[in-house]
Structure 1
Amino acid sequence: MKTARVLFALPGLAALAWGVVLFAEYALPLRPDVFGTVGWIVGGPILNDAVVAPLTAILGLALARLLPPRWKTPVVTGTVTTGVLAILAFPLLWRPYGTPPMPGLHDGNPALGLTLTLAAVWLAVTLTALTRRAVPPPTRDAPPITRDAPTDPPGTRTDPPDTRTDRPGT
Structure 2
Amino acid sequence: MRYLLALPGIAALVYGGYLLVPLADFSVGLWLVAGPLVHDLLLAPVVALIGWALTRLPHAKPLLVGGALTGVLCLLAVPLLWRTYGTPPSPGLHDGNTWLGLGLTLAAVWLGVGLYLVVRILNRGDQEGAS
- For the pair shown, the structure with the greater C-alpha radius of gyration is 1
Distance 1:117 1:60, change over 3 A: same
Name the % identity.
45
Alpha-carbon offset, residue 113 of structure 1: 1.6
TM-score by length of 2: 0.67
Distance 1:15 1:119, change over 3 A: farther
Aligned length: 121
Distance 1:86 1:106, change over 3 A: same
Distance 2:12 2:94 in 1: 29
Q: Is the 8 A contact 2:77 2:98 kept in 1?
A: yes
Question: 1:153: which partner in 2?
Answer: none
Distance 1:58 1:128, change over 3 A: same
Question: 2:69: which partner in 1?
Answer: 81
Q: Which of the pair has the greater relative contact order for Cα pairs under 8 Å at 6+ separation?
A: 2
CA deviations over 1:13-41 (Å, ceiling 9, x no partner): 624531540441x3334564xx4344434
State the secondary structure of the residue aligned to 2:84. coil
Question: 1:14: which partner in 2?
Answer: 8
**Do residues 131 (structure 1) and 122 (structure 2) align?**
no
Question: 2:89: which partner in 1?
Answer: 102
State the secondary structure of the residue aligned to 1:28. helix
CA deviations over 1:120-150 (Å, ceiling 9, x no partner): 211121122223366xxxxxxxxxxxxxxxx
Question: 1:114: which partner in 2?
Answer: 102
Q: Is the 8 A contact 1:56 1:83 kept in 2?
A: no
More helix by share: 2
User: Aligned runs of 1:153-164 on 2, under 5 Å?
Assistant: none
Q: Is the 8 A contact 1:82 1:118 kept in 2?
A: yes
Distance 1:63 1:94, change over 3 A: same
Structure 2 unaligned blocks of 5 or more: 125-131
User: Aligned runs of 1:63-74 on 2, under 5 Å?
Assistant: 63-65=54-56, 67=57, 69=58, 71-74=59-62
